[in-house]
Amino acid sequence: MHRQNSSNRKVITLKPTQTAHKRRNKAMPIAFIIGTAGSGKSLFTAAFSEWLKVSKQDVAVVNLDPGALKLPYSPDVDVRNYVDVGDLMEKYGLGPNGALIMAADLIADEIENITKDIEAANADIVLVDTPGQMELFAFRASGPYIVNELTREPKAVVYLFDAVFSINPLNYVSNMFLSAAVYNRFFQPQMHLLSKCDLIPEKEINTITDWAANPRALMDSIEQKLEGTKRLFSRNMMQAISKLGIKFLLIPVSAKTNQGLINFNATLERILTGGEKYTY
Ligand SMILES: Nc1nc2c(ncn2[C@@H]2O[C@H](COP(=O)(O)OP(=O)(O)O)[C@@H](O)[C@H]2O)c(=O)[nH]1
Ligand SMILES: [Mg+2]
């Protein structure tokens, strides 16, 4: 009886230490939300982080957009604490675009501070809202540097296709090219979302998701809906993409109605943690 008690005590005293140790070393997967200007990155970050909180997941939200005037969420880590676009305009006599480019490059110098802030947040998952203009993040040297250097945790890129823009097959194919270009910059596991689904009829959502799953369906729509140079151009782009072997799942979501968030979360979990919950 005594022995059992003492061995129980031992277990009890060890447990907190083990938990603390596990907590310090736990994985903190990071999802980078990327897409063209206005594709819904910030609102999606807000909606999904709220959804995770309601599902009792411990989430940290990072704003990497130095030019953001207003955000639909309260960031736990904010690049605007380190880089101020207004100051850059004043100090270097730059216009807003020049200052945004300079700010995007300067973020790379703040990587240690931002990493420390993220680690201090000690969350189960980190969502990173990237700069409004995608090219500032994806097509300058600083973006891939930041993605590579920002902690050693598992990462995923979440690429947003704006549903309203994607109804036209030519726009859709152009966006596929952009997403392939983004993949080619980061070489991280990449997911694809059809954002703002509440703005288009369900029939259109099904057509677009079918294009992603089935290149033949996309080719048929190109032939039916486009003509002349647009048809030729889309057909050739589509064939080039087929040659690259790019095939992906497009998950319809809405940051207004929360449609698709369960599906997105399940896929993200699979990519980031091999199917486990973010929390242990
Ligand atoms: N109806 C609807 N509007 C959206 C949705 N997501 C974003 N928006 C709107 O689209 C605009 C651009 O969104 P924002 O998140 O700022 O895009 P970002 O530039 O990619 O960060 C804003 O006016 C949002 O309110 C959505 O799921 N549904
Ligand atoms: Mg934004």
Q: What is the pLDDT of residues 163-178, one digit of tens each?
A: 999 999 999 999 999 9
Q: How far is the CA of 181 from the centre of ligand 1 (A)?
A: 23
pTM (2 decimals)? 0.89
What is the pLDDT, as a whole number, of residue 276? 63
What is the pLDDT, as a whole number, of residue 243? 82
Residues written for the chain = 280
Residue 146, C-beta contacts closer than 8 angstroms, at least 6 positions apart: 64, 107, 108, 111, 114, 137
142: how many CB neighbours lie within 10 A of its CB? 20
The CB of 39 under 6 Å from ligand 1? The reply is yes
Q: How far is the CA of 40 from the centre of ligand 1 (A)?
A: 4
First to last CA, the chain: 33
Ligand nearest to the CA of 255: 1
What is the pLDDT, as a whole number, of residue 150? 85
What is the pLDDT, as a whole number, of residue 242? 79
The residue whose CA is least distant from atom 5 of ligand 1 is 196
Integer Cα distance of 134 and 139 in angstroms: 8
The residue whose CA is least distant from atom 6 of ligand 1 is 40
Q: Which atom of ligand 1 is nearest to the CA of 160?
A: 20
In this prediction, the residues of the chain whose per-residue pLDDT falls under 70 are 1-26, 246-247, 275-280
Question: Element (H or E) spanning 193, and its range?
Answer: strand 190-195
Are 72 and 97 a contacting pair, CB within 8 Å? no
Q: How far is the CA of 55 from the centre of ligand 2 (A)?
A: 24
Q: Is 195 left (phi over 0), alpha (psi -120 to 50) or beta?
A: beta
The residue whose CA is least distant from atom 25 of ligand 1 is 43
What is the pLDDT, as a whole number, of residue 241? 81
The CB of 37 under 6 Å from ligand 1? The reply is yes
Torsion of CA 31, 32, 35, 41, to 10 degrees: 80
Q: Which atom of ligand 1 is nearest to the CA of 45?
A: 15
50: how many CB neighbours lie within 10 A of its CB? 17
Residue 149, C-beta contacts closer than 8 angstroms, at least 6 positions apart: 111, 115
Q: How far is the CA of 195 from the centre of ligand 1 (A)?
A: 8
125-129 and 155-162 as β-strands: parallel, antiparallel, unpaired? Answer: unpaired
Q: Which atom of ligand 1 is nearest to the CA of 257?
A: 27
Ligand 1 pocket mutation, candidates 43, 64, 160, 166, criterion most atoms within 8 A of CB = 43
Integer Cα distance of 200 and 215 in angstroms: 22
Integer Cα distance of 247 and 157 in angstroms: 16
> In the numeric block, which tokens belong to residue 222?
């190109």
Q: How far is the CA of 86 from the centre of ligand 1 (A)?
A: 24
Q: Is 227 exposed, middle or buried (0-12, 13-18, 19+ CB in 10 A)?
A: exposed
What is the pLDDT, as a whole number, of residue 278? 63
Integer Cα distance of 230 and 222 in angstroms: 9
